[in-house]
């Protein structure tokens, strides 16, 4: 993946961390398909008493997943902090910034909304991203696609945080909104997010091909996802756009083939990557499932930790 990236502490330095990271990936997947998709799609269900039980069950599972993601994210953060002794000062600062993001998420629930809290959160997010992904930059010319995917996804998260920061500055007393700047930052971030998804997939497929371990079903899964995205966009473009926004924070403004290629490559590649580079696959998968520029604090924390895990997973 990236042979020349600076050494970072391995996830296995804390025995529980790999397990918690896997649980966080699973919880984020449940949150995507149940909380952000199925629960919202129930509004289109017929108001039939026979379906009320199913809708209620979906709602309960969605609430459970919504609560589980931040709990597991905090647990993973604690495990990473416990094993941060070998990671150097900068890495520990990154984890401290991530802890600040977690604390800000709690404050957002406990106290009335404040632009100052949002501003501080986004500054901490950008600081943590710089620490986690920054060590990959010195060898950027020789980076493998896995490292490039981490950088692209970190860049997307950074641009989303910067857009929110501009929005928070505009909400301060005497501040003025800059909607065109926010829109531009979010648009550039979306491009990087989709590019990161495609590059992550390319990394997995490339590694699997070199190792001669690429199952046909993995490629088939990617093709199916790409075909479904293309078909959905062709048959119901407005609904597909809403689903992309609800589930992943994507605007739907890019060509359909771009989303289809990114989604198909990501599914096939990350499934291929799961065996030889589990840590990278878990981290990248968590980032992609958490979505782009979504405001939920649990997903923000999960995505940030996904970058931290993936950045270490691609260093080998």
Write out the two tokens for 243: 């689903």
Of the given ranges (84-98, 125-139, 142-156), which has the lowest mean pLDDT? Answer: 84-98
- Identify whether the C-beta of residue 252 lies closer than 8 Å to the C-beta of residue 244: yes
Question: Confidence class of residue 220 from pLDDT cuts 50, 70 and 90?
Answer: very high
Residue 48: per-residue pLDDT = 66
Q: Considering only CA atoms, which of 51, 58, 70 is closest in space to residue 34?
A: 58
Each residue's pLDDT tens digit, 254-274: 999 999 999 999 999 999 888
Mean pLDDT computed over 106-115: 72
Q: Considering only CA atoms, which of 276, 267, 302, 275 is closest in space to residue 287?
A: 302
215 vs 149, higher pLDDT: 149
Q: Considering only CA atoms, which of 135, 134, 99, 139 is closest in space to residue 120?
A: 99
pTM to 2 decimal places: 0.87
Q: Considering only CA atoms, which of 145, 105, 100 is closest in space to residue 123?
A: 100
Q: Which residues neighbour 180 within 8 Å (Cβ) at sequence distance 6 or greater? A: none
Residue 6: per-residue pLDDT = 45
Residue 142: per-residue pLDDT = 66
Q: What angle do CA 33, 194, 263 make, to 5 degrees?
A: 50
Q: Which residues neighbour 297 within 8 Å (Cβ) at sequence distance 6 or greater? A: 70, 101, 102, 104, 105, 108, 109
Select, from the ranges 58-67, 152-161, 204-213, 232-241, the one with the highest average predicted confidence (pLDDT): 152-161
Question: Confidence class of residue 73 from pLDDT cuts 50, 70 and 90?
Answer: very high
Q: Is the pLDDT of residue 69 over 70?
A: yes
Distance between the two ends of the chain, CA-based, in angstroms? 6
Residue 3: per-residue pLDDT = 43
Q: From the CB of residue 139, how many other CB atoms can be counted at a distance below 10 Å? A: 16
Mean pLDDT computed over 122-127: 93
The residue written with tokens 């060509």 in the block is 255
Write out the two tokens for 234: 């062709």
Residue 67's Cβ-side half-sphere holds a number of Cα atoms within 13 Å equal to 5
Write out the two tokens for 141: 């010319």
Q: Is the pLDDT of residue 50 over 90?
A: no
Question: Confidence class of residue 286 from pLDDT cuts 50, 70 and 90?
Answer: very high
SS (H, E, C) the chain: CCCCCCCCCCHHHCCHHHHHHHHHHHHHHHHHHHHHHHHHHHHHCCCCHHHHHHHHHHHHHHHHHHHHHHHHHHHHHHHHHHCHHHCHHHHHHHHHHHHHHHHHHHHHHHCCCCHHHHHHHHHHHHHHHHHHHHHHCCCHHHCCHHHHHHHHHHHHHHHHHHHHHHHHHHHCCCCCCCHHHHHHHHHHHHHHHHHHHHHHHHHHHHHHHHHCCCCHHHHHHHHHHHHHHHHHHHHCHHHHHHHHHHHHCCCCCCCHHHHHHHHHHHHHHHHHHCCCCHHHHHHHHHHHHHCCCCCCHHHHHHHHHHHHHHHHHCCC
């Amino acid at each position: 993946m990236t042979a020349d990236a600076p050494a970072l502490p391995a996830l296995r330095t804390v025995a529980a961390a790999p397990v918690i990271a896997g649980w966080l990936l699973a919880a984020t997947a449940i949150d995507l398909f149940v909380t952000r998709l199925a629960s919202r799609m129930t509004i289109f269900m017929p108001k039939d008493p026979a379906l009320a039980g199913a809708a209620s069950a979906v709602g309960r599972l969605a609430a459970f997943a919504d609560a589980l993601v931040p709990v597991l994210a905090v647990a993973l953060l604690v495990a990473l902090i416990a094993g941060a002794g070998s990671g150097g000062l900068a890495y520990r600062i990154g984890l401290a910034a991530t802890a600040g993001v977690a604390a800000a998420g709690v404050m957002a629930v406990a106290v009335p909304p404040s632009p100052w809290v949002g501003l501080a959160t986004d500054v901490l997010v950008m600081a943590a991203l710089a620490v986690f992904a920054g060590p990959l930059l010195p060898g950027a010319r020789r980076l493998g696609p896995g490292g490039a995917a981490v950088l692209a996804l970190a860049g997307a998260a950074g641009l989303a945080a910067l857009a929110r920061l501009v929005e928070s500055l505009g909400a301060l007393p005497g501040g003025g909104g800059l909607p065109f700047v926010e829109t531009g930052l979010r648009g550039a971030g979306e491009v990087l997010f989709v590019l990161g998804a495609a590059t992550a997939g390319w990394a997995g497929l490339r590694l699997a091909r070199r190792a001669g371990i690429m199952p046909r079903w993995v490629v088939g899964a990617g093709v199916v996802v790409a075909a479904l995205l293309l078909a959905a966009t062709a048959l119901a473009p407005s609904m597909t756009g809403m689903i992309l926004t609800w589930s992943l924070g994507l605007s739907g403004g890019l060509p359909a083939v771009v989303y289809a290629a990114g989604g198909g490559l990501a599914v096939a590649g990350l499934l291929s990557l799961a065996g030889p580079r589990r840590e990278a696959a878990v981290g990248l998968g968590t980032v992609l499932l958490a979505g782009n520029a979504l405001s939920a604090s649990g997903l923000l924390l999960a995505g940030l930790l996904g970058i931290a895990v993936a950045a270490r997973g691609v260093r080998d």
